[in-house]
Amino acid sequence: MSLPDNSLWENVLAGDERAFEALFRQQYPALYGYGLRLTGDEEMAKDGIQELFQRLWQRRARLGQLAEGAVRPYLFKALRHQLANDARAHTRRAGWHTAYAAELAADFHYSPEDFLIAQELSEAQRVQLLQALAQLSNRQREAIYLKFFDGFAYDRIADIMGLNPQSARNLIYQSLHVLRQHLPPAVWLLLLSQWALQVRLFFNVFTNN
């Protein structure tokens, strides 16, 4: 079944199992990529997605219609909450008591292979890229991922992360500024080539400063 997200969502609300399976297959790769980077744990990401969809199906009668283009952001936000709840449950079982232990992984995880430019980089440049990403805060890395890997608009990023749209914009702007400062020009330009459409406005700002 190949239907737009919103059509599948409407059919799921009506109890269509085939639409539910199609929605799961359609959204799984993006959700898994996000969940894996949030947790750094393959099994936790997979389990979180399974639990999320089980809950969606069980509660479908209580769910409402979503605006055009809102299905994927809704699922990302729901997965973020699901994984946070799973982490809290795990920490209670493990008896951890630090403030952050009940949240998601301390780092939003990247590897060089996440980038289309990876094959064009030397080993030293890959290390430089990861070191530059390490200069970003956890929330900055997450915002960058949502913007440039999943293509969400600022208002969607804000909703997923529990921010206002201006804060989401600021996170992206600050992130790009930090990356430009910490990357060698050759790597920065390659990164821009991957993110060309999204970064163009920021690049104009930077080159004018």
Domain boundaries, the chain: 5-102, 112-207
In contact, 81 and 104? CB cutoff 8 Å: no
> Distances in Å between the alpha carbon of 153 and those of 27, 125, 171, 199, 201?
18, 29, 13, 13, 14
To the question of pTM greater than 0.85 for the whole model, the response is no
Res 90 pLDDT > 90: no
**Residue 205's pLDDT is what?**
43
Residues 5-102, CATH architecture: Orthogonal Bundle (1.10)
Residue 75: band (very low, low, confident or very high) from pLDDT cuts 50, 70, 90: very high
Fold of 112-207: Arc Repressor Mutant, subunit A (1.10.10)
Residue 72: closest CA among 46, 98, 33, 130? 33
pLDDT digit string, tens, across residues 107-118: 788 876 677 666
Of the pLDDT bands very low, low, confident and very high (cuts 50, 70, 90), residue 101 is: very low
Opening angle at CA 65, ends 78 and 169, nearest 5: 50
The pLDDT tens digits of the residues spanning 145-156 come to: 999 888 899 999
Q: In this structure, what DSSP letter does residue 103 have?
A: S
Q: Which of 50-54, 90-94, 192-196 has the highest mean pLDDT?
A: 50-54
Q: What is the pLDDT of residue 44?
A: 92
